Each structure stands twice: as structure tokens, then as C-alpha cells.
Amino acid sequence: MTEPRLYLVRHGESEANVAGVLQGQSHGALTAAGRDAAGRLGRALASLSVAERPTAILTSDLRRAVETAEIIADALGATPQLLPAAREWNVGVLDGLPAAALTDAIERSGLPAAEFAPSGGESMNQLQARAAQALADLAHEAADGAHVAGRERTLLVSHGDFIRMAIGAAASMPIDAANSLKLRNTSLTEFTLSNGTWRVERIGDASHLDE
């Protein structure tokens, strides 16, 4: 039996990405470049053999992820399903502020970065726990009914910090190390499921953008 796979895709470039502001769990909108990149990824995935192509598409329910998933799904002839647990890090009152505001707030708090939670938001520790639980749920679904429920190869469109914490959880990586991973918009990270545990196979593949 082929090992189930999970493809984690960061959403396409958003207007907030271009502006350099924190967007957390606000919805956001893709730029023209973001839509184009999502289309490139969709076509690259559609060109794969049937044995490699995603069989199910899930997405964070934030608009920038949903829009990305819809573009990819159109190329694959699929319909995305919402997975709210895959939302981006909740940065609370910092949402919409320049990225430097987060660094300033962490320094003022005197807490380790992983323990700092903005007012109304969550800490990076809490985000990693949420990502780890989502991975556990997806592993359970893939292991229990991969060939019945079409979960042989699941593609999940999510967000940079969520994906970094998912990688960290799967690879037992310290949060600081996971947080330093570079993930381009629409980059693809691949996990395989072995004995009920996700194994990281590749991180941040953006080769479709170079074609």
C-alpha cells in the first residue's frame, strides 16, 4: 500500500504581504501575482501522474487561502473543503500593523518569543499545538480510510506560520528553528505518513514559479 501524502501549500501573495503588515486571521485578498502563482501551481499539479496528483483539497477558511485553493482546485477538477483549524497564527490586536510591531511587542513583554501571546491572540506554542492536532487528525483520517475517503494524497492550503509550526511538530524541531524556515507564497511542503506519523519529505518547493 502506498504511503498517504500531505501537501501543505502557503497561500498566494496577498495585498498585506506586499504592504509588509501582519494579517493573522483577517481574510485578506490575493494580488494579481498571487493568483498567477496559484495558477502555476495548479497546472504543475495537474501535470503529475495520477499516482502523484492530489486526491483531496482542504483549505483554511481565510479568504486568501480559499482563493488560492479554488484556483488550484479548478486546475485539478476538484472542490476544496474548509478546514478552519488550518488558519494562520492569531496575532490579536496586532493584526493589520507593520511586522515590526510584533518584534517590539515581544521585546516589551520580556517573554520568550514562543510564549508571547498578543492580546486577543495566541502564542507560537499554542499555534504549534494547534498545527500538531490538525496533523494528528489528518493522519487519523488518512490511515483509517485513505482509499475510501479519497485521502491518499491530501493538499492543504494554509499559511506561513501555520505550516512552519506543522513542520516543526512533525520533525520535532524547536520553535525558533521552525520559525526561521523560508516559505515562498504558493510553495509546497510534502509529508508522508508512516506508521501513523507524518514524515517531512520536502520543504518550501517553489519550482513551479521558475517555469
Catalytic residues: 11, 88
Distance CA 173, CA 121 (A): 23
Distance CA 114, CA 130 (A): 14
Residue 206 identity: A
Distance CA 176, CA 25 (A): 21
Distance CA 146, CA 168 (A): 24
Contact criterion met (CB below 8 Å) for 121 and 92: yes
Contact criterion met (CB below 8 Å) for 95 and 26: yes
Please, which residues have CB within 8 angstroms of residue 40's CB and are 6 or more apart in sequence?
186, 208, 209, 211
- Running DSSP on this structure, what letter comes out for residue 186? T
Distance CA 181, CA 99 (A): 17
